[in-house]
Amino acid sequence: MQHESGRRVSFDIEIANIFELGPGEDLDQYGPFDISCAAAADDQGEVTHWTSLAPNGSYADHLDPATAHELLAWLREEQLAGSRLFAWNGLSFDLRWIGVAAQDVDLAAEVALDLYDPMFQFFVQRGFPVGLAKVANGLGVTETKLMDGADAPEQWASGNHQLVLDYVAGDCRITDAVVAGIEESGGVTWRTSRGSLSTEPMPELKQVRALLDAPEPDTSWMDAPLPRSKFTSWLP
């Protein structure tokens, strides 16, 4: 499997806002979001966290703009230093809302264009998204999510900060293991809703900028296919 050198760095955020989503409801309609915490993990397992502190010295409800900007600047510095930066659905979600929280959407877009987002690449090839947990299962990744992502805002608000910090770091490690699995096998294998395994060839992971003008896949079999703009419309 051919892929570029450069250390892998995977990152993830958790939002602070609590919602009761209905079946099939789109979380994005409730944005912009506050970020409770964020983490990054490299391919050697080293984890970095970002949080803000409240006046009483405890963790704040959400990242302040200065801390969010530190996170964004750190991600960009990693890219410019030669690291390959990964996030699962990081184009559509994580970087969009980090940019808003940091009050610097232009910098977030710079990071996004150089990001490796295997979920977005999968969507570009197949026309539908796929969840990290289903791909981790399909690729035999042993680390599992500590909780459902929808529970993280409530846990943070309840003061279970360490649980959420462990959870966001775990998601970074799962992302890195999934990326390693894709590069080793040359494809995305996922557990379908019917319980079977399916594979989409992905011999090379590509940066977002290389995918923006890729041909549209055949989605004629879908009732309501997602437009690519759902992932990219925030880019300036």
Per-residue pLDDT, averaged over 8-16, amounts to 97
pLDDT, averaged across the chain: 94
- CATH number of the domain residue 156 falls in: 3.30.420.10
Is 61 contained in some domain? yes
Does the residue 34 lie in any domain?
yes
Mean predicted confidence (pLDDT) in 37-42: 98
- Is the pLDDT at 1 greater than 50? The verdict is no
Look up the domain containing 104 and give its range: 8-213
More confident residue, 6 or 174: 174
pLDDT, tens only, 205-230: 999 999 999 999 999 999 999 999 99
In sequence order, the 6+-apart residues with CB closer than 8 A to the CB of 104 are 69, 72
Residue 232 lies inside a defined structural domain of this protein? no
Using an 8 Å Cβ cutoff, are 209 and 235 in contact? no
What DSSP character marks residue 204?
A: S
Report yes or no on 180 lying in a domain: yes
In a domain, 229, yes or no: no
Q: What is the pLDDT of residue 2?
A: 39
**What local confidence, expressed as pLDDT, does residue 5 receive?**
65
Quick check: is 234 in a domain?
no
Q: Is the pLDDT of residue 28 over 70?
A: yes
Q: How many domains would you assign to the chain?
A: 1
Q: What CA–CA distances, in Å, run from 177 to 17, 101, 144, 218?
A: 28, 28, 11, 30
Residue 220 lies in a domain: no
- What pLDDT is attached to residue 65? 97
Dihedrals phi, psi of 176, to nearest 5 degrees = -65, -40
- Is the predicted pLDDT of residue 4 greater than 60, yes or no? no
**Rounded mean pLDDT, 114-128:** 98
